[in-house]
Structure 1
Amino acid sequence: MEIVKTAGELKNLLDTARNGNKTVGFVPTMGALHAGHLSLVAQAKAQSDVVVVSIFVNPTQFNNLADLKTYPRTPEQDLKMLKDAGCQIVFMPEEEEMYPQADNREFSFGELDTIMEGAHRPGHFSGVAKIVSKLFTIINADKAFFGLKDFQQVAVVKMLVANYMPEIKTQIVACETLREPDGLAMSSRNRLLTRETRKAAPIIAETMIKGRNLLRTHSVKAIEKFVSDSINRNPYLKVEYFSIVNSDTLMPVADFSGDHRISACIAVQAGNVRLIDNMYYR
């Protein structure tokens, strides 16, 4: 497994691979890896000849500096996990490599900027776009693999490529969310939970499933109220938003008419840790 720190080194390795007619799969991460990340690596291995994983905690996507400071960093463990998973190349740049000067580019994602994560984390998706555009330009992979736990982010990345990077032919592959045995969506942030908040956190997915079971008998508003009120009864959890949306546009739905797919998206503050989750409702 090659570990590279600079874009130049990485491009040289990938040029050699492409000269041998090898396809490249890319998994972008911020480290603190878990089984969910490894499932993305497995998907990339199954669909590509060479797998590149990036580990970079991107400062421009944090609208809360305290969150950036406390974000878990486990580089030695990450590298061991990736080696065991059969990753061929790990890109671990320093901040100066990715941002040699201030990146003042502005990105707009329309209504996606105004709902759910866009509304509650101003500037977050612009920061995501900055780093993803840089990584996509450097790596120019055949396929890039993202987890659907970050449901809205996947939509933003697809729009980024379509609207801002027409020269990039990287196919975005969205992969299912992996869950702990108790139903909690796997996340690097889970390791920051206290014993009390970790015990409470599975209530999020459990309650979302109960909400899904009310689809035939309750309105959208009634289900949204039921899920939010039920989770908020736990003293360690506070719902930031819970929204039932069109799975394709991510826009909120008023009712369950039509035959389009429907998803539910949620953000919950569990003590000092912010957790997000989503699931298909129909």
Structure 2
Amino acid sequence: MVTTAQELATEWDAARKVGAVIGYVPTMGALHEGHLSLVDLARDECDVVICSIFVNPLQFGLDEDFESYPRPVERDLGLLEARGTSIAFLPSWTEIFPGRERVLEDFGTHVAVPRLSHQLCGRSRAGHFDGMVTESLLFLNLVRPDRTYWGEKDFQQLRIIETLVQDLRLPVTVVRGATRREPDGLAMSSRNKNLTPEARAVSPNLRRVLQEARAELLAGQPLPAVRATARQELTDLGFVVEYLVACEEGSLSEVSTLDTPLAVRLFAAAMLQGVRLLDSIPLTEANHG
């Protein structure tokens, strides 16, 4: 385990001297199989695997759960060691933000990917993605990997990072990892442990409703009617639906029909007894011919 940028740079220099390919998996800790599957993917493709654990204050709103976000450090370190992680990078808050910046406005520099950040989750979480992408760029500059691994579960976040790397010509390859799910279909998330037993029993219905909506859409049912039915079913089950929309995967622009040559995905976000759940499933693939 290393905790400072200087220690990390020393490890990086040693790896580069022997020509190692460096893979990087960024996390906020409270690791689950979704994170660890990215570590496995990085280990298969790289010589050195660096995994960071850092709860980024810039991506939490003032009324969100920064202070209470789970931080089981010893457990996480054991999991990373068991999966063959080469270097665990666990910097302190002040190592990354010496001025103890808590919100983006207090940090001297920030970056944004506005055309992807103001949709979906960005509509209700103002500044969240600007804080995420600013901290992510900072960590990419510190770690300097050849490849970085991001899960499709947080698809909007993934697309923002892919666009950042493309637009700024960052010398790193973004590798996608498939969404990992519990046996009952719930997408794995560090926040799932905050679900009460009652809410946990209901939570897999989010994916089930999305799958049923997908089947209806592919059978030719109109998108507005399918969306309305799906939203109502989730509401009846106790979800407070933030959004349930179909969007083009590249631009995240909402579509009103599936009559498009572009890949389309069905996205949903909903609160269940105070816990925010995200999921998405592909509707169509891109038509290249």
- TM-score class, shorter: over 0.9
Instruction: Determine if contact 2:3/2:91 at 8 Å carries over to the other structure.
Output: yes
> Counterpart of 2:267 in 1: which secondary structure?
strand
Greater CA drift, 54-63 or 103-112: 103-112
1:80 Cα deviation (Å)? 0.5
Q: Deviations over 1:22-76 (max 9, x none)?
A: 0000000000000111100000001100000000000000114441122111111
- The separation in 2 between residues aligned to 1:70 and 1:183, in whole angstroms, is 26
Instruction: Percent identity, please.
Output: 35
Q: Matches of 2:268 and 2:27 in 1, distance apart?
A: 21
Output the CA distance in 2 between the equivalents of 1:248 and 1:62: 25
Q: Distance in 2 between matches of 1:191 and 1:281?
A: 29
| Secondary structure of 1:70's aligned partner | coil
Please name the residue that 2:287 is paired with. none
Counterpart of 1:5? 3
Equivalent position of 2:222 in the other structure: 219
Q: 2:91 & 2:121 partners in 1: Cα distance?
A: 27
Match of 1:263 among 262, 265, 270: 265
Letter in 1 for 2:161: V
Q: Structure 2: which 5+ residue stretches go unaligned? A: 102-106, 285-289
Residue 193 of structure 2: aligned partner: 191
Q: Name the CA distance, whole Å, in 1 between partners of 2:140 and 2:72.
A: 24
Task: State the secondary structure of the residue aligned to 1:87.
Answer: coil
Question: Which amino acid is the alignment partner of residue 184 of structure 1?
Answer: L
Correspondence for 1:272? 274
Deviations 1:114-160 (A, max 9, x none): 21111111000111112101110011100000000010001111222
Provide the residue aligned with 1:149 in structure 2. Answer: 153
For the 8 Å contact 2:30–2:190, the answer to whether it is kept is yes
Distance in 2, matches of 1:18 and 1:106, equals 29
SS at 1:185 equivalent: coil
Q: Is the 8 A contact 2:112 2:134 kept in 1?
A: no
Of residues 47-56 and 264-273 in structure 1, the stretch that sits farther from structure 2 once superposed is: 264-273
- Counterpart in 1 of 2:175? 173
Q: Distance in 2 between matches of 1:62 and 1:195?
A: 26
| Separation in 2, partners of 1:239, 1:17 | 47
CA–CA distance in structure 1, aligned partners of residues 62 and 241 of structure 2: 18
- 1:77-96 alignment runs, 5 A limit: 77-96=75-94
| SS of residue paired to 2:66 | helix
User: Residues 72 and 192 of structure 1 are in contact (CA less than 8 Å); yes or no, is this contact kept in structure 2?
Assistant: no
Moved more, 226-235 or 51-60: 226-235
CA distance in 1, matches of 2:78, 2:117: 37
Give the residue type in structure 1 aligned to 2:253.
M
Matched, 1:240 2:238: no
- Please give the secondary structure, in 2, of the residue aligned with 1:12: helix
TM-score (ref. length: structure 1): 0.95
Maintained 8 Å contact 1:220/1:253: no
Q: SS at 1:162's partner residue?
A: helix
Query: What SS does the corresponding residue of 2:44 show, helix, strand or coil?
Result: helix
Q: In structure 2, how many angstroms separate the alpha carbons of the residues matched to 1:177 and 1:111?
A: 24
Consecutive aligned runs of 4 or more in structure 1 exceeding 4 Å deviation: none
Separation of aligned partners in 1, 2:113 and 2:225:
29
AA aligned to 2:77 is: L
How many residue pairs align between the two structures? Answer: 277
Q: Which runs of 5+ in 1 are unaligned?
A: none
Which residue does the alignment assign to 2:251? 249
Normalising by structure 2, we get a TM-score of 0.93
